[in-house]
Amino acid sequence: MCAANAIHRRHKFVSSNSVQHGDRTQLLALPKWLSPPTGYIKMNIGGSWNRDRRVAGFGIIVRGNTDNFVAAKCGCLEDAFSPLQVEAMVVREGLI
């Protein structure tokens, strides 16, 4: 089920972010990571949520203005009731 869902999401992503050239498909340019202003750091987060089990997984990376690595963290969260709550919980995890 998980693999089928991932394949479906990849297909949906490719079809909405590409152009067809005959029998070839070319992905459009995706936005590049933008560095924060000098003297600042930037935290990027990502996560997944399982509605039935009310759990989430997350990843965090913090980088400086020259794209230098500052910190990273990953983990699991329990009692997650919505994607919005997961986002807030992950931001909190990144700040503590």
**Burial class of residue 16 in the structure, from the number of CB atoms within 10 Å of its CB (0-12 exposed, 13-18 middle, 19+ buried):** exposed
**pLDDT for the residue 3:** 63
In which band, very low, low, confident or very high, does the pLDDT at 80 lie, cut at 50, 70 and 90? very high
**pLDDT for the residue 62:** 94
Domains along the sequence of the chain with CATH = 5-15+35-95 (3.30.420.10)
In which band, very low, low, confident or very high, does the pLDDT at 15 lie, cut at 50, 70 and 90? confident
In which band, very low, low, confident or very high, does the pLDDT at 11 lie, cut at 50, 70 and 90? confident
Q: Give which of 55, 59, 94, 58 is closest to 78, Cα–Cα.
A: 55
The pTM assigned to this predicted structure is: 0.64
Take residue 17 and report the two structure tokens written for it: 């972010």
